[in-house]
Amino acid sequence: MATIKLHLDTRSKRKNDQYPVTLILHHGYISYISLGISVTQEQWNGKEVIHSPKAQMFNSELKARLLRAQNVILRLSISGEIKKLSQKELLHYIETNTIEPEPKQDYQVETHFEKYISQCKSPRTKEIYQDTLNKLHAFSSQLSFEDLNLSWLKSFDTELAKTCKTNTRAIHMRNIRAVFNDAINEDLVSQNLYPFRKFKIKKEKTIKRSLTADKLITLRDYPVEPYQEKYRDLFMLQFYLIGISIVDLLNLKTIADGRVEYIRRKTGVFYSIKVLPEAMRIIDKYRGKNYLLDVLDHIQNYKEFAKQMNEALKRIGHVERIGLGGKKIRHPLFPKLTSYYSRHSWATLAASIDIPIETISAALGHKYGSETTGIYIDFDRSKVDQANEKVLNLLRK
């Protein structure tokens, strides 16, 4: 229920120690409506002006403005329309003393998308939202929030389905929903326009992406083709460093006090991981000049390297050739293997040997607990170090 009353706004001090008298509106949250009258704190008793030569004139004007505002709220409440109004729309009705709708605002989706992206702190988050914006622009440029309705969402989802899998489409739809909610929260768009109440974002259960300890040993010791060796080794290094992402791995600079420390590009979470002997051997094998590893000493585009790495990992396995110099027939060990498996494999193995979930969560930088009450645990690093030692012991055969 919206409420409105007179209020002395002591946040904004004017000359002669005066403060503005405003209407304070509660409708979801608080807004202030300037009335053009200022008095000192001693001249305000909480309801009206006192001890002022102009008290009678001021109070007459203030009561009239309050009554008009209350009448607008009453009429909108009786009609039921007030439940559909944003704070900005209700302010418009009160300030104009009318219940006629505010003129249509063709606020552009791309405009708010760009604003939202500029406020994202994580480079990876910016990148993901920019990808959604690029697809949105290609499908429907000059799109207003009023045009972004249920029908548009269905058409856009159909278009995305031509090139994107279900869960990728879900990411784009959630990004659009987040931007829409942000525009509503800033009172730039009416909540009446919100189309996601009737549009269900589809998603599929993610296929488990992990290797058992025996399979990791097989991969580690497999006689790979020469070009696959570095990719295989870096995958194992990812695993030894608790599933560090490839972008974070390649951007490591140094080892300090026997540890690698970094802020994860995707989440902004700080990590400090002890470098165990298995990891150190691979680091020494591929040690770089400007980076801990030599990959970015030679190439600038880590994405292209990551793509090549995933392709190479999928191809590891027995190869037979048909005829002299003939076509290669491949029998991959793990045809769906990618660098992401390193993180999932570490977590799965840690759980299999009864490492406490709070330790696994701390190691991965995850929240522990429910989505609404989960917190990041300020965890003793030694517990994570001990957990990694136990996981790697599974491969020390």
CATH of the domain at 275: 1.10.443
Q: What is the pLDDT of residue 365?
A: 81
71 and 148 in a single domain? The answer is no
Residue 269, both tokens: 């979470």
In the chain (397 residues long), the average pLDDT of successive 10-residue segments reads 89 85 86 88 93 92 91 86 80 72 68 92 87 93 89 93 90 94 84 85 77 94 94 96 93 93 86 93 94 90 90 91 76 91 93 90 69 43 92 89
Write down the pTM of the prediction. 0.58
DSSP assignment string, 318-371:
EEEESSTT--EEEEESSTT--TTHHHHHHHHHHHHTT--HHHHHHHHT--BS-T
| Range(s) of the domain holding residue 36 | 3-96
176 and 117 in a single domain? The answer is yes
Residue 110, SS3? Answer: helix
89 and 121 in a single domain? The answer is no
123 and 227 in a single domain? The answer is no
Is residue 288 domain-resident? yes
Is residue 102 domain-resident? no
Is residue 312 domain-resident? yes
User: Looking up tokens 């053009």, which residue turns up?
Assistant: 36
Q: What is the pLDDT of residue 33?
A: 87
Is residue 44 domain-resident? yes
86 and 133 in a single domain? The answer is no
Q: What is the pLDDT of residue 371?
A: 42
Q: What is the pLDDT of residue 2?
A: 85
- Count how many domains the chain has: 3
